[in-house]
Amino acid sequence: MTNYLYAALLFKPLVFLPSHSMKEEIKKEERSLNFLEEIIEQDLKSGKNKQIVTRFPPEPNGYLHIGHATSICLNFGLTKKYGGYTNLRFDDTNPVTEETEYVESIKDDVRWLGFEWKHELYASDYFGKLYEMAVTLIQKGLAYVDDSSSEEIAAQKGTPTHPGHRNKYAERSVEENLRLFAEMKAGKYTDGEKVLRAKIDMASPNMIMRDPLLYRIKHAHHHRTGSIWCIYPMYDMAHGQSDSIENITHSICTLEFVPHRELYDWCIEKLDIFPSRQYEFARRNMTYTVMSKRKLLQLVGDRHVTGWDDPRMPTITGMRRRGYTAASIREFCDRVGIAKRENMVDVGLLEFFVREDLNKLALRRMVIFDPLKIIITNFPDRTEWLPSENNPEDPNGGTREIPFSRELYIERDDFMEIPSKKYFRLAPGKMVRLKSAYIITCDVVLKDNDGKITEVHCSYIPESRSGQDESGIQVKGTLHWVSIPQAIPAELRLYDRLFKVEDPGSEAGDFKDYINPDSLQVIRTAWAEPALQQAVFEDRFQFIRKGYFCLDRDSSENRLIFNRTVGLKDSWKAPINKENG
């Protein structure tokens, strides 16, 4: 991690707002090892591990977001770098919230990000093995069946400063516990009637070690095991054990699991299974959005967005529809790196990497958002096809032919009847170059009865054609334009931040109160050059002088719709807070 980044990420609460030079720095600088890479290099050097095995363990209860992308890039990135492999393991131990739709979307998103897992696995495939492990703990006198209600269990737990106490159920014999646990499995009891608990230490300073729950009864249909099971393992009885079953060497999770590590290690020791090790890093938080699946689900459910793939969502599927590239997301995750302390990264940094990547590959096209009609009075009544580079950044990008004719559209705000001093665009008597075409002079302005400009008459300079200009005339402004007879109508969707505040989750009241009402602006007056009729979903475009765009899936053959992926420059300004003026 760069020094800048490190310094910026060190303190909380803090928003990381990189300046332009800082971004340049991030781009250039060789990234130094993160703390996990250091641990892994040690483990390989000492011979502790011969190969590295990691897993990405999503719960299939929602779509993946940019936080998950961080975890994916980290887990897959480490085994790519150090040899070994990564499993995709669905952590599907909660039958109530999980759905097959999510499983498919998760696989699709991981692949799209550019990663291939070694094995596709499901924690639910281990239900039999996990049950056996629980039986082993009972046999060792390390687990017991408790009939207490969840309120009683909570009350007996004590507080961080006061030890808890055991109840009479902890005294049950191994035989009785084995019988009761088998009966729990057989469906003899109702939800919540009994639980299985580990017998550890009711006075442990770590509350999680105070006889934690291992199994609960839940008579519910599971998306894979159907109604075979009515008892389900808790996180602590499933996650680490699944890691061990798969010989995971480095089990990477986020900081909220730090207190669980002691129990993770306890289970491995008592069950004498493969010694996976848990390591924690800080969750990825990003400004102007929310990340928890529960909140994202509310945005979808309450129709604040059109779906999980709404381009304003921080989901992978949303960013994908918006036109973000997988490479730019990977670069963002890798360059921002991981931290051991909670922090907040500015979404502008992600946009910076998106823009960087798009600049290299986007096809340049001309689109007029708000048209003003221009008549080139001295141009003959025909169409001239002019070559124009697809991408000046790409030597192999090639050219396309764009039509030029007597009737053109330019942007309404590229014309000013009474220009200010520094205005180098079109104005009466002034000259501008039309991109890849000719220099024109504005001669006459026509208006309707209300004084609105309806048409501007210009004349062109035949010797000034781009690429073979012999006019000797220098002009300061170059405008984009489209030829009216060949222009195709388009709808443009311009997106802004979904929230008005940096951290909606930490504001008073409901996070949804902070939704930006102007996060979507639709432009239905746009006209595009004809090459865009051939646009396909994978194409990335730079609409010259306007921003980066991609075709939206709502498009049809006679209705082109484009999403603005990101502007050309980092021009976004936080809405001004009323109290501050």
How many CB atoms are located within 10 Å of the residue 123 CB? 24
Would you count residue 59 as binding Mg ion (CB under 5 A)?
yes
Residue placing its CB nearer to ligand ATP in the complex, 216 or 283? 283
Would you count residue 254 as binding ligand ATP (CB under 6 A)?
yes
Length of the chain: 581
Residue placing its CB nearer to Mg ion in the complex, 59 or 201? 59
Would you count residue 292 as binding Mg ion (CB under 5 A)?
no
Residue placing its CB nearer to ligand ATP in the complex, 147 or 342? 342
**Out of 234, 253, 273, 386, the residue judged to bind ligand ATP by CB under 6 A:** 253
Strands 482-483 and 407-411: antiparallel
- Please tell me the distance from the alpha carbon of residue 80 to that of residue 352, in angstroms, as a whole number: 25
Out of ligand ATP, Mg ion, none, what residue 70 binds, judged by CB under 5 to 8 A for its kind, is ligand ATP
- Please tell me the distance from the alpha carbon of residue 68 to that of residue 573, in angstroms, as a whole number: 27
- Please tell me the distance from the alpha carbon of residue 294 to that of residue 298, in angstroms, as a whole number: 7
92 Cα distance to chain centroid: 22
- Kindly tell me the sign of the dihedral angle through the C-alpha atoms of 133, 135, 139, 145: positive
Would you count residue 258 as binding ligand ATP (CB under 6 A)?
no
Out of ligand ATP, Mg ion, none, what residue 223 binds, judged by CB under 5 to 8 A for its kind, is none
Q: Active site residue: 23, 283, 320, 365, which one?
A: 283
Are 568 and 546 within 8 A, CB to CB?
yes
Q: Which two tokens stand for residue 103?
A: 């499983």
Contacting range for ligand ATP; rule: CB under 6 A; set: 146-154, 160-168, 291-299, 356-364: 291-299
What are φ and ψ of residue 363, in 5° steps?
A: -80, 130
How many CB atoms are located within 10 Å of the residue 51 CB? 12
Q: CB nearest ligand ATP: which residue?
A: 67
Would you count residue 284 as binding ligand ATP (CB under 6 A)?
yes
**Out of 222, 250, 283, 465, the residue judged to bind ligand ATP by CB under 6 A:** 283
Q: Where are the beta strands (DSSP E) in 38-186?
A: 52-56, 84-90, 120-122, 143-146
Which residues does 6 contact at the CB level (< 8 Å), separation at least 6?
none
Residue placing its CB nearer to Mg ion in the complex, 57 or 164? 57
- Please tell me the distance from the alpha carbon of residue 270 to that of residue 497, in angstroms, as a whole number: 50
Instruction: Tell me the sheet residues that pair with 575.
Output: none
Out of ligand ATP, Mg ion, none, what residue 253 binds, judged by CB under 5 to 8 A for its kind, is ligand ATP
User: If DSSP codes are grouped into helix, strand and coil, which group holds residue 105?
Assistant: helix
Which residues does 341 contact at the CB level (< 8 Å), separation at least 6?
9, 10, 11, 12, 282
- How near is the Cβ of 306 to ligand ATP at its closest, in Å? 20
Strands 541-543 and 363-365: parallel
Would you count residue 314 as binding ligand ATP (CB under 6 A)?
no
Which residues does 23 contact at the CB level (< 8 Å), separation at least 6?
349, 352
283 is catalytic: yes
In the region spanning residues 76 to 115, those forming contacts with ligand ATP, defined by CB under 6 A, are 91
Cα three-residue angle 106-35-58, rounded to 5 degrees:
15
Contacting range for ligand ATP; rule: CB under 6 A; set: 289-297, 368-376, 432-440, 473-481: 289-297
**Out of 44, 220, 291, 488, the residue judged to bind ligand ATP by CB under 6 A:** 291
Residue count, binding to ligand ATP (CB under 6 A): 15
CA distances from residue 209 to 149, 232, 262, 292, 364 in whole angstroms, order as listed = 19, 20, 8, 27, 60
Q: Active site residue: 25, 29, 31, 59, which one?
A: 59
Residue placing its CB nearer to ligand ATP in the complex, 62 or 348? 62
Half-sphere exposure of 569 (CA within 13 A, CB side): 5
Would you count residue 54 as binding ligand ATP (CB under 6 A)?
no
Residue placing its CB nearer to ligand ATP in the complex, 292 or 525? 292
Q: Which two tokens stand for residue 242?
A: 């699944």
Out of Mg ion, ligand ATP, none, what residue 293 binds, judged by CB under 5 to 8 A for its kind, is ligand ATP
Are 377 and 443 within 8 A, CB to CB?
yes
Q: Active site residue: 293, 365, 433, 500, which one?
A: 293
Out of ligand ATP, Mg ion, none, what residue 261 binds, judged by CB under 5 to 8 A for its kind, is none
In the region spanning residues 58 to 77, those forming contacts with ligand ATP, defined by CB under 6 A, are 58-59, 67-68, 70-71
Residue written as token pair 């061990």: 244
- How near is the Cβ of 254 to Mg ion at its closest, in Å? 9
- How near is the Cβ of 284 to ligand ATP at its closest, in Å? 4
Q: What is the dihedral of CA 149, 153, 154, 156, to 10 degrees?
A: 140
Out of Mg ion, ligand ATP, none, what residue 291 binds, judged by CB under 5 to 8 A for its kind, is ligand ATP
Contacting range for ligand ATP; rule: CB under 6 A; set: 12-20, 53-61, 315-323, 479-487: 53-61
User: If DSSP codes are grouped into helix, strand and coil, which group holds residue 22?
Assistant: helix
User: If DSSP codes are grouped into helix, strand and coil, which group holds residue 423?
Assistant: coil
Residue count, binding to Mg ion (CB under 5 A): 1
Contacting range for Mg ion; rule: CB under 5 A; set: 57-65, 298-306, 346-354, 569-577: 57-65
Contacting range for Mg ion; rule: CB under 5 A; set: 52-60, 221-229, 451-459, 497-505: 52-60
Out of Mg ion, ligand ATP, none, what residue 455 binds, judged by CB under 5 to 8 A for its kind, is none
Q: Which two tokens stand for residue 14?
A: 């803090």
Q: Which residues bind Mg ion (CB under 5 A)?
A: 59
Looking at the annotation, which residues are catalytic?
A: 59, 283, 293
- Which stretches of the chain bind ligand ATP, using CB under 6 A? 57-59, 67-68, 70-71, 91, 253-254, 283-284, 291-293
